[in-house]
Structure 1
């Protein structure tokens, strides 16, 4: 079975890793053709993000 889309609901620490670090790591994954990172909510310690990753056979 080929996976074409993955949706991740991620709560990350406010300071590290940065969103650009996460984006760079996703971009290096073989098979990823595109992705979107949306910030859903922010509080004092965490950032709630929704990450959509698309590609053939990821």
Structure 2
């Protein structure tokens, strides 16, 4: 069965992880969000209870 042969698939997986770890991860980790969620004020909403007609 050719899908059980790990020769080409292991090299593809290793190359893709190497590209992610060496090239993409430093760029993604250096990203600073312009509007971090910690600076937002919390909005408290008072939910209105549902009035069931049969209760």
Instruction: Sort the TM-score into its range (normalised by shorter chain).
Output: under 0.3
More helix by share: 2
More strand by share: 1
